[in-house]
Each structure stands twice: as structure tokens, then as C-alpha cells.
Chains A and B, each alone.
Chain A
Amino acid sequence: MPEGSEARPEPLVVNGRVLETLPNALFRVELETERRQEITAHVSGSSSLLRILPGEAVVVELMAYDPGRGRIVRRR
């Protein structure tokens, strides 16, 4: 019976809201989860997304490796 591979973990996709922009194209994002965590997130893909402003609603992917880091995949 094969084991599920750990090599390709699925990211956790959650909604968030940008609190502020940080240097190096990073953003502080508040997650709209019960615990209202704050994480640091970078932006995936195209640079047009770089002009994300505080207050914007976004979708963030989290990986199990580092729960304090995320990746903004799109606006919403």
C-alpha cells in the first residue's frame, strides 16, 4: 500500500487583508481566520500585483514549513 508523498505538500489557502507594505516587496497580512494571525507574505508571479495597498483583501497560501510566512496569490 503506497504512502502519501511528503514531497508535494498542499498549501493551505486562506483569505487575508494587507495591513502594511514592507521593504523588499513584502507585506504584513492579517489572516481572516479565527485566531487573526499576522504573517509576512510575498507576492507570487507578476509584478502588476506588486502595487498592493494596505487594506486590500487578498488570498494567501501558507506552507507547513513556516506558519509565519505566506504567499499572496491574488486579490479578491
Chain B
Amino acid sequence: MTTKSWRDLQSMHRACTIVVETLDALAEAAVAGTTTKELDTLSRERIVKAGAIPAFLGYRGYPATLCISLNNEVVHGIPSAKRKLKDGDLVSLDLGCIVDGFYGDAARTVAVGKVSPEAQRLMKATEESLHAGIAQCQPAKRVGDIGAAVQGVAEGYGYSVVREFVGHGIGTSLHEDPQVPNYGPAGRRERLVPGMCLAIEPMVNVGRPDVRVLEDGWTAVTVDGSLSAHFELSLAITRHGPWILSEPYPYGKETEKEAAVHA
């Protein structure tokens, strides 16, 4: 685990902002008839145009800029020119980029056209669980508090959280220590300190939590075939609480900024 300086966080803020703005564009472009490859191309063009580097392309051999996972696919779906979005699809978009050597990572699930009420409820539950996790990101709390909060919300809706994949520290690598599971118990695991950066990313299934990875070595699907959603944001722990790095610094006071990330 490394803590970041205020200067490091400026780069992470830029990286995360580019990722989230690209996700906005992707969400608009995700209409019936679009191929998943077209969205991948769009994401790569936007990231490069913004002066950043795609973070996933080539990461452990991953072949694309974007992860795009439909319906019962949980995460790590590989874009394909043969695959068209259709009305009613639930589409998880996961994207990362590098600015000045610092990584930004974010994801969200969007609906193509009109989706089932269950799919809408799942998206709401997953996003809500992410924000419940973020609310725990106060100095002196622990990583287990985040997981317990996420799990509490998701299971409160009657859904389940995926265990095989977890959130992670982020910084000069895509995945740094600590691992951030989306389940409890509270009060366990690493202590949160100012300057720490985490990517929190609940993956929530309507049915059972179990997932398996397809033959392509990447695409994770729910074992029972149920719908799955995925929301992710990268944030920094500051003395005042969480700073979601794709948003402006929320705690004002220019002069105190440097101190905000010193433990």
C-alpha cells in the first residue's frame, strides 16, 4: 500500500475524470444495434484524444480498452465486432486510463432501451451499495467496514455480492494493495489512512453469488445465469473523508489541501 501526495492526486483526478467522461459518452452510445467493438473503439479514441493511455489494453494480456459485460456476464467481457446490443440488454461498462503514470478506474451498468423492472432494481441496488461503501471511507475506519456496508445494502435488496473478484488499491499500478472485498466483516482488514487510494466496485447478482470464467480466460458469468450489475469509482481517503477522484475536490479550503492527505 502506498499513500499519494497532493500532486499525485492531481494526476489521478485527471485520469479518473477522463474515464468517467468517457463512460458518459459510452452510456449514450450504448443503443440497440451498436456492436460492443464499436464502443471499445469509441472508448480508445476518447482516451487517446484526451492525452491518456488505455489502462486495460495489454493488462495481463487483456485484448481491449473496455470491458463490456452483458446481462448474466459479471465482469471482464471482451468487446466483439460480432456482438450487437439489443433492446432490454443490461450492459456493464468498465474502463481505465493512465495519466502521468497514475491510473483511473471506473465502471457502471446501463440499460439498452427498456429493461425489466428487476434489472432496474438491480442497478439501483448496486449503485446504492457502492455509495454506502464510499461513505465508510473515513480515516481510521477499516477496509472491512467498506465491504460490510456494500454487502448490507446489496443483501438488503435480496441480492448477492460476488466473492471471486474484489476492489483494489490503485495508483501507479491498476491493482495495488489492499484488496477491497465487497463483503464483511466490519472492523477487520487494513486501516484507512489519508492519502490512500481505493477502487471500490460492487458486483451484485440477482441470484447466487457464484461466478465462473468462460473459455476465453476473461469473461466471468453468473453460474446460475442470473443478471449481474457492476458499479465502480476510484477515490482517495482524505482527512475529511472520501474524495471521489472523478469529481472536484469537495472539502474547499485551498490552504489545507496538502495537509488533507497527510497521515
Say whether B163 contacts A2, CB under 8 Å.
no
Name the prevailing secondary structure of the A interface residues: loop
Q: Give the nearest-CB partner of B62 in chain A.
A: A1
How many angstroms between the C-alpha atoms of A1 and B67 in the bound complex? 8
* Interface positions of B from 147 to 190, Cβ below 8 Å from A: 163-168, 174-175, 179, 181
Q: Give the nearest-CB partner of B96 in chain A.
A: A1
Size class of the contact patch on chain A: under 10
* Interface membership of B102, Cβ < 8 A: no
Name the prevailing secondary structure of the B interface residues: strand
How many chain B residues have a CB neighbour from A under 8 Å? 25
How many angstroms between the C-alpha atoms of A1 and B230 in the bound complex? 10
How many angstroms between the C-alpha atoms of A5 and B105 in the bound complex? 17
Q: Mark A2-43, 1 if CB is under 8 A from B, else 0.
A: 111111100000000000000000000000000000000000
How many angstroms between the C-alpha atoms of A5 and B203 in the bound complex? 13
A1, A6, A7, A8: residue with the most chain B Cβ atoms closer than 10 Å: A1
* Interface membership of B201, Cβ < 8 A: yes
A3, A5, A6: residue with the most chain B Cβ atoms closer than 10 Å: A3
B residues with CB within 8 A of A = 55-56, 59, 62, 67, 75-76, 94, 96, 105, 107, 163-168, 174-175, 179, 181, 201, 203, 230, 232
A residues with CB within 8 A of B = 1-8
The 12 sampled A-B contact pairs (Cβ below 8 Å) are A1-B62, A1-B96, A1-B175, A2-B76, A2-B166, A2-B168, A3-B166, A3-B168, A4-B165, A4-B166, A5-B163, A6-B179
